[in-house]
Structure 1
Amino acid sequence: MEKIKVGIIGTGLAWERLHYPAYQELTDRYEIRALCDIDRSRAEKWAEQLGLDSQRDVYSDFQALIDRKDLQVIDIMVPIVKNHPVAELVARSGKAVLLEKPMGATLDQANATRDLPTHYGIPMMVAENYRYSEEFNLLRDLVGQKKIGDPVHFIYQNTNCFPCAMTKDTFSATEWRQHPAYPGGDILDAAIHPLAGLRHIFGGIQFLQSFGVPQKDDFSPYAAVTVNLHFMSGVIGQFAYYPAGQEIQKPLVGLRIFGTHGMIYMEDNQCGVINVFHNDGGHEIIPFKPMRGYYNELVNFYNSLTGQEAISVTPDMEMGDLRTVYAILQSITEQEVIKVDKVPQYTVH
């Protein structure tokens, strides 16, 4: 099996906890050849663990890594404000791009990132793990197969206590997330995931209307947001995101999808089961393995690079996810209903 040769830009938490474990399962398909980090000593520690030469294969200047002729793919895990400029330099070099979401800190940046594959003729995948996760693919299939009849509406409560994690060894402890230099703060960084999951299940969004509770903390302009959503498929629902506090009562509200013949319930994406309740009293428990999105996206990217299948999560799909976040922020500010998508589907079935 051909091994794809990879260079890594950014060896922080996203690499350590998300991408690296997936690469470890795919050593027959990927070979990590070079590492770059603004903290060279951190990259050197990883080089030692991976058996790389710290003099030859470790960089603090990402352009020097990009210039290496032996690399086929660059996996970019940097602060959001650097996503577009780094991705553009990689694309300009002719190498394939694996980029963490979101594609840019602004809509203009994201639009420019979306166009990189066309401008430079390179493959690019946006690493939106919710679209590759077992649970959201199961949910999409259950809805598509009308397991509960026609879907009518949903509620989705997502709580992410940012302040609880700020002093721990977590993503919330990073300086650039605590004091973000991009609109929306944690809403753009974290709420984009469950919103991508909803779009994966139901498709494009026709309208949305949002409300927010303002706060002074830098990590997010709002302590909580609620969003009324009208999908182009006709499904309606409410998404609530609470980054400033906790949901103490168990089981969690989670995601509940109501249909003409029953309902689907998933407490959260770590619980490992999806419950299907039928109006006739029947009940099914469908298991899933959490945290498989990163593995699945790397499998899909490998298969696309070797001509076996298309990239499932295209830049256009991720652009729709990002546009949804910006529409939420716009709706709160303008106190208006906002149109979001022009086409009904941003999913690959």
Structure 2
Amino acid sequence: MGKLKVGIIGCGLAWERLHYPAFQELADKYEVAAVCDRKREVAEDWGRRLGLDPARDVFTDYRQMLERPDLQVIDILVPIPQNHAVAEEVARAGKHIILEKPLGATYEQAVATTELPYRYGIKMMIAENYRYSEEFNIIRRLVAEKKVGAPVFFIYHSSSCFPCAMKKNTFAATEWRQHPQYPGGDLLDAAIHDLAGLRHLFGGIKHLSAFGVPQDDDFSPYAVVTVNMEFMSGVVGSFSYFPAGREVQRPAVGLRIFGTHGQIYLEDTDCGVVNIFYHDGGHEMIGYQPNRGYYNELLNFYNALYGTEEIAVTPEVELGDFRTVYAILQSIKDQDIVKVDRAPAYAMA
């Protein structure tokens, strides 16, 4: 199997810190042959770093880049409001797509994005790294094997300090994240990872009931959300997300899954260990390498294009994660229980 030629749209932090290192590891499978960024100096800098021809391989208009017949794959890393429109033009050009989550800025855009592979005969992978991470796939296997018996209940707490990071060289420093033009703000951009992880473990969600504390900061409509969930598999649990302040001493909660014979515990995604505790007093530790989702997703997409694997995270899979965020917002707004999967979409008023 030969190398795939890739064009990059958007050379910001997601490219530099997340996708580029994975492409470097997979240099025997991918060749980054063109880059595009609306800021000329950024595009030219990456052209130099990658040894590209500035006249042929560096662009500020992605439409011109799409005219290159040799490019087989386009990696789209643009602000959320641009995701659907850019993906549609790339699909129309007949290029296979790696698209950063979420699928669009509205539910209607998200649904339209899921239709692109069928309309244009291309393959598309959504770069939801939690579904490709070692830790969530280890836990998914443990749950499926009933390592601690039948799963019954979970607690998942996730926190970050968006205001702390706004003036640092971080994702929170980007203007479009600080003043988002899409429902949910940081919930749709960041909390969606945690929700994708939970759906990866337990499947579709039957109902949820959510509460939120409103805030004036633009980055998120709520300083915290807490959600009770009932999965179609019968598992129930609670998820909380706190992006509005510093958690000085993180409690030993993280993700806990309670089964009929024991408990699975992940302190956080960077800790490197999944703990298994048994009711008879036994204990196991399974090590993993953090932050491998980006590498694994690119490897999966490469194998999928050559027909040796199926794409693990298709637009349809990611649509469920998107729908969950919208259901949380709807539940808070209506102060009611909301159906999530196998139910109509919940468009925000």
TM-score, scaled relative to structure 2: 0.97
How far did residue 50 of structure 1 move?
0.7
How far did residue 318 of structure 1 move?
0.1
Give the aligned partner of residue 56 of structure 2: 56
Give the aligned partner of residue 111 of structure 1: 111
Query: What amino acid sits opposite 2:189 in the alignment?
Result: D
Give the aligned partner of residue 157 of structure 2: 157
- The 2-side partners of 1:5 and 1:78 are apart by 20
Give the aligned partner of residue 80 of structure 1: 80
Structure 2, gaps ≥5 residues long: 344-349
- The 1-side partners of 2:205 and 2:63 are apart by 38
Structure 1, gaps ≥5 residues long: 344-349
How far did residue 249 of structure 1 move?
2.0
- The 2-side partners of 1:337 and 1:140 are apart by 27
- The 2-side partners of 1:257 and 1:235 are apart by 10
Give the aligned partner of residue 315 of structure 2: 315
Query: Secondary structure at the residue paired with 1:157?
Result: strand
Give the aligned partner of residue 200 of structure 1: 200
How far did residue 226 of structure 1 move?
0.3
The answer to whether 1:143 aligns with 2:172 is no
- The 2-side partners of 1:189 and 1:17 are apart by 17
- 1:20-39 Cα offsets, whole Å, 9 max, x none, are 00000001100001000011
Query: Secondary structure at the residue paired with 1:146?
Result: coil
TM-score, scaled relative to structure 1: 0.97
How far did residue 54 of structure 1 move?
1.4
- The 2-side partners of 1:108 and 1:67 are apart by 28
Query: What amino acid sits opposite 2:179 in the alignment?
Result: H
- The 2-side partners of 1:116 and 1:339 are apart by 26
5 Å-filtered alignment, 1:219-234, equals 219-234=219-234
How far did residue 129 of structure 1 move?
0.5
- The 2-side partners of 1:66 and 1:213 are apart by 44
5 Å-filtered alignment, 1:157-196, equals 157-196=157-196
Give the aligned partner of residue 218 of structure 1: 218
- The 2-side partners of 1:170 and 1:328 are apart by 26
Give the aligned partner of residue 294 of structure 2: 294
How far did residue 160 of structure 1 move?
1.3
- 1:168-217 Cα offsets, whole Å, 9 max, x none, are 10000000000000000000000000100000000000000000000000
- The 2-side partners of 1:119 and 1:86 are apart by 15
- The 1-side partners of 2:149 and 2:138 are apart by 16
- 1:126-167 Cα offsets, whole Å, 9 max, x none, are 110000000000010011111110100000000011011111
- The 1-side partners of 2:274 and 2:334 are apart by 37
Alpha-carbon RMSD across the aligned residues, in angstroms, is 0.9
Query: What amino acid sits opposite 2:263 in the alignment?
Result: M
- The 1-side partners of 2:67 and 2:101 are apart by 24
- The 1-side partners of 2:117 and 2:105 are apart by 19
- The 2-side partners of 1:83 and 1:234 are apart by 34
How far did residue 250 of structure 1 move?
4.0
Query: Secondary structure at the residue paired with 1:41?
Result: helix
Give the aligned partner of residue 347 of structure 1: none
Give the aligned partner of residue 244 of structure 1: 244
The answer to whether 1:5 aligns with 2:5 is yes
Give the aligned partner of residue 284 of structure 2: 284
- The 1-side partners of 2:250 and 2:231 are apart by 29
Identity of aligned residues (%): 67
- 1:85-130 Cα offsets, whole Å, 9 max, x none, are 0000000011101100000000000000000001111100011000
- The 1-side partners of 2:189 and 2:23 are apart by 23
- The 2-side partners of 1:340 and 1:82 are apart by 25
Give the aligned partner of residue 120 of structure 2: 120
Equivalenced residues, count: 343
Segments ≥4 residues shifted beyond 3 Å: none
